[in-house]
């Protein structure tokens, strides 16, 4: 509670106590000026700021200021009470409950504001630099690129960098929602906002503080609710119209019925009684003229929804995107990097057997037996007996890796990675790249050729087809003109991809589409495994935009299309789709810039989750809009009929607001969705 809230609470309590005293202690006369003064005291205590703002509102010509309306309603009630019953309690109570409502609203909003900022508590406050005099604490803004900073256990990594000393586990839960800590050691890149768990690390910074992941994410989250959704726009429009309409209705209610009744000669009782009654009804209208419940609960729901989502590692860039996301019926994937890891890995190594007629003159039909000797290298499971095979596999990879020593091609990189440390003492020279074929090199005196089938022909031997390669790329290797075997390199399907597709279908997504540049056969194999509905293969990058446009045209009105990419090279498609989802944003600025929704980790299962979060949030928004408007309309009707009095009106008003605010906060809880 801040000072203002404390002061208001005291005002509320004092007024309530005074009212109880005045009501139950027979110390005030039943009517007259003294009684009026007795009630004006608590009224001033509870309502002085409203009255002051009302006067300012008149001076500034803001006729529909809610302070002014409350002031008119309560002062009006006082006047009526003075003229008629002497029951001032109502007027003071209305002001009291109005203030209770305002106080509750301030508390609830303040609380959720703090809650959500705590959720996103990744802002590092300090960085530690080691100097001659020991460890020095500095502002992370002042740390230059390339500085070595120290991060001790329990501290947040302030700036993105590379580990130069130490080995530890990092908790990235605040960034990705992933609770399993990540092991890091020398040479690993680490991102700011993660928490060091076990032992001290020395990190060489690679970015400035402002460009670091933590700062970027915070900026994104803070700006998120500035992009307003249709619902929010509707509410601000509604609020602009609602208040003036109710005020005009109140005016009409105060004047028209008594005039009509008098003219019709139907007026029962004295004229003052008639007018008093209708003016009272009109004042009841004014009490209900504030659209508070709606205006507060809708942005609060979105804010809570966005906060809850970011806690799960799903960053949504604005309330409008949350709204769109809830209507997604088609999800288009760019295969590489979303459903597959986008990193080529050696998945199989098939050496040719020396005794199996692998010489160039060998008969191809003699190979069938050896083809049974497949070894899944990547999974470490050799089939029977094969220590010898292990050595041969190793040698094959060894030669291939050397041949690709100077190449930066992803395939070369994967070969080198699979072999391990390629820079050993072997003599490697005369490396020659044969465009469209492969490479030729001299290794330890032998000529090694690595490449496609055409390369083998060039090397003077025949490439053996591999029926197990599936979606992969095959690298054949020949040593001194003899076929030595082949290595299969493929893009690995992510662990949760199939589950993610199923999950999307379960969450009501009608169509899943996979776009890829791969050959049709390979694409269909992957797509079939994952259960994707539609596959478009052999696409050039530009074709992807065209395909998405086609799909957009096919979509039913109101049904949205989401495109999921890895944020690399697909910015045009991300922006063309109704909603662009980028995956694996850890460290990729491009993804954060171009997408509407950013999944912090690489797990496609989060897409379904994001859609469910958005649906829950939108449901809450709709509930709040319906409840609030319905209650207001009912109250207005009852008020006009003279059934609801001011008490009823203010209770309904404050009550609905409290319900709506509590309901809005529900949007924050999305863990189990």
Residues carrying an active site annotation: 334
Q: Is there a contact between 184 and 156 (Cβ–Cβ < 8 Å)? A: no
Nearest to other proteins of 238, 431 (CB atom): 238
Output the CA–CA distances (angstroms, integers) from residue 536 to 96, 195, 515, 625, in the order listed.
65, 42, 5, 42
* Helix/strand/coil for 415: helix
Q: Is there a contact between 349 and 375 (Cβ–Cβ < 8 Å)? A: yes
According to CB under 8 A, which one of 228, 398, 494, 615 is a site residue for other proteins? 228
Tokens 């609801």 locate to: 644
Which residues ranging from 280 to 299 are in contact with other proteins (CB under 8 A)? 290-292, 295-296, 299
According to DSSP, the β-strands at 597-599 and 314-316 are: antiparallel
Q: Binders of other proteins: how many residues, by CB under 8 A? A: 32
We find the least distance from the C-beta atom of residue 661 to other proteins, in angstroms, to be: 10
* Helix/strand/coil for 226: coil
We find the least distance from the C-beta atom of residue 69 to other proteins, in angstroms, to be: 12
Our CA angle for 408, 410, 412, nearest 5°, is: 65
- What track of x and - describes contact with other proteins for positions 229 through 258 (by CB under 8 A)? -------x--xx------------------
Please, is 102 exposed, middle or buried when counting C-beta atoms within 10 Å of its C-beta (0-12, 13-18, 19+)?
Answer: buried
Which residues ranging from 193 to 222 are in contact with other proteins (CB under 8 A)? 222
Q: Is there a contact between 311 and 596 (Cβ–Cβ < 8 Å)? A: no
Spatial CB neighbours of 207, under 8 Å, sequence gap ≥ 6: 145, 159, 160, 161
Alpha-helical runs (H) found in 444-570: 453-459, 497-506, 520-530, 541-554
- What track of x and - describes contact with other proteins for positions 296 through 315 (by CB under 8 A)? x--xx--x------------
Which residues ranging from 63 to 82 are in contact with other proteins (CB under 8 A)? 65-66
6 binds other proteins (CB under 8 A): no
We find the least distance from the C-beta atom of residue 585 to other proteins, in angstroms, to be: 22
226 binds other proteins (CB under 8 A): yes
We find the least distance from the C-beta atom of residue 322 to other proteins, in angstroms, to be: 13
We find the least distance from the C-beta atom of residue 649 to other proteins, in angstroms, to be: 18
Nearest to other proteins of 74, 347 (CB atom): 74
223 binds other proteins (CB under 8 A): yes
321 binds other proteins (CB under 8 A): no
According to CB under 8 A, which one of 18, 42, 53, 565 is a site residue for other proteins? 53
Which residues ranging from 81 to 140 are in contact with other proteins (CB under 8 A)? 102, 105-106, 109, 112-113, 116
User: Angle 213-224/292-311 helices, nearest 10 degrees?
Assistant: 160
Please give the full DSSP string across 558-583, using - where no structure is assigned. Answer: T-EEEEEE-SSS-HHHHHHSSEEEEE
658 binds other proteins (CB under 8 A): no
Nearest to other proteins of 227, 374 (CB atom): 227
Q: Is there a contact between 12 and 46 (Cβ–Cβ < 8 Å)? A: yes
We find the least distance from the C-beta atom of residue 306 to other proteins, in angstroms, to be: 9
List residues binding other proteins (CB under 8 A). Answer: 49, 52-53, 56-57, 60, 62, 65-66, 102, 105-106, 109, 112-113, 116, 222-223, 225-226, 228, 236, 239-240, 290-292, 295-296, 299-300, 303
């Amino acid at each position: 509670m801040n000072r203002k809230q404390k002061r208001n609470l005291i005002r509320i309590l004092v007024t309530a106590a005074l009212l109880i005293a005045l009501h139950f202690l027979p110390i005030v006369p039943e009517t007259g000026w003294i009684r009026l003064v007795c009630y004006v005291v608590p009224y001033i205590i509870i309502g002085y700021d409203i009255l002051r703002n009302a006067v300012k509102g008149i001076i500034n010509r803001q006729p529909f200021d809610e302070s002014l309306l409350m002031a008119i309603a309560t002062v009006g009630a006082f006047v009526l009470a003075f003229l008629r019953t002497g029951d001032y309690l109502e007027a003071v109570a209305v002001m009291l409950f109005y203030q209770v409502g305002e106080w509750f609203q301030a508390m609830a909003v303040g609380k959720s504001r703090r809650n959500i900022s705590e959720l996103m508590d990744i802002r590092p406050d300090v960085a530690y630099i080691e100097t001659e005099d020991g460890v020095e604490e500095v502002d992370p803004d002042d740390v230059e690129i390339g500085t070595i900073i120290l991060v001790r256990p329990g501290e947040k990594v302030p700036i993105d960098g590379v580990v130069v000393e130490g080995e530890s586990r990092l908790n990235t839960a605040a960034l990705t929602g992933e609770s399993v800590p990540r092991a890091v050691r020398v040479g690993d890149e680490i991102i700011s906002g993660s928490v060091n768990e076990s032992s001290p690390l020395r990190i060489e910074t690679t970015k400035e503080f402002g460009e670091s992941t933590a700062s970027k994410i915070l900026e994104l989250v803070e700006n998120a609710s500035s992009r307003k959704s249709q619902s929010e726009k509707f509410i601000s429009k509604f609020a602009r119209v609602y208040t003036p309409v109710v005020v005009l209705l109140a005016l009409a209610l105060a004047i028209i019925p008594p005039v009509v009744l008098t003219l019709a000669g139907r007026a029962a009782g004295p004229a003052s009684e008639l007018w008093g009654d209708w003016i009272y009804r009109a004042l009841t209208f004014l009490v209900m003229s504030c659209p508070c419940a709606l205006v507060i609960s809708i942005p609060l729901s979105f804010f809570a929804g966005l906060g809850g989502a970011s806690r799960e590692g799903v960053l949504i860039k604005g309330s409008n995107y949350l709204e769109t996301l809830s209507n997604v019926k088609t999800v288009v994937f760019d295969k590489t990097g979303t459903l597959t890891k986008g990193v080529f890995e050696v998945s199989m190594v098939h050496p040719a057997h020396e005794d199996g007629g692998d010489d160039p003159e060998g008969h191809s039909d003699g190979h069938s037996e050896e083809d049974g000797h497949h070894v899944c290298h990547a999974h470490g499971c050799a089939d029977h007996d094969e220590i010898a095979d292990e050595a041969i596999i190793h040698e094959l990879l060894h030669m291939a890796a050397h041949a690709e020593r100077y190449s930066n091609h992803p395939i070369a990189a994967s070969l080198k990675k699979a072999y391990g440390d390629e820079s050993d003492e072997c003599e490697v020279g005369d490396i020659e790249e044969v465009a469209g074929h492969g490479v030729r090199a001299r290794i330890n005196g032998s000529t090694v050729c690595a490449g496609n089938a055409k390369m083998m022909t060039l090397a003077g031997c025949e490439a053996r087809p591999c029926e197990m390669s599936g979606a992969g790329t095959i690298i054949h290797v020949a040593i001194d003109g003899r076929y030595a075997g082949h290595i299969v390199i493929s893009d690995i399907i992510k662990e949760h991809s199939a589950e993610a597709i199923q999950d999307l279908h379960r969450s009501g997504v009608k169509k899943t589409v996979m776009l890829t540049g791969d050959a049709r056969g390979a694409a269909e194999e992957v797509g079939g495994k994952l259960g994707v509905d539609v596959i478009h293969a052999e696409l050039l990058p530009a074709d992807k935009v065209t395909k998405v446009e086609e799909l957009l045209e096919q979509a039913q009105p109101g049904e949205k299309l989401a495109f999921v990419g890895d944020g690399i090279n697909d910015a045009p498609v991300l922006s063309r789709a109704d909603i662009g989802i980028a995956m694996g944003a850890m460290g990729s600025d491009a993804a954060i810039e171009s997408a509407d929704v950013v999944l912090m980790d690489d797990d496609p299962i989060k897409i379904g989750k994001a859609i469910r979060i958005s649906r829950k949030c939108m449901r809450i928004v709709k509930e709040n809009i319906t409840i609030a408007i319905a209650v207001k309309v009912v109250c207005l009707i009852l008020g006009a009929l003279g059934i609801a009095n001011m008490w009823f009106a203010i209770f309904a008003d404050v009550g609905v607001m409290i319900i709506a605010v509590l309901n809005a906060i529900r949007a924050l809880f999305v863990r189990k969705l």
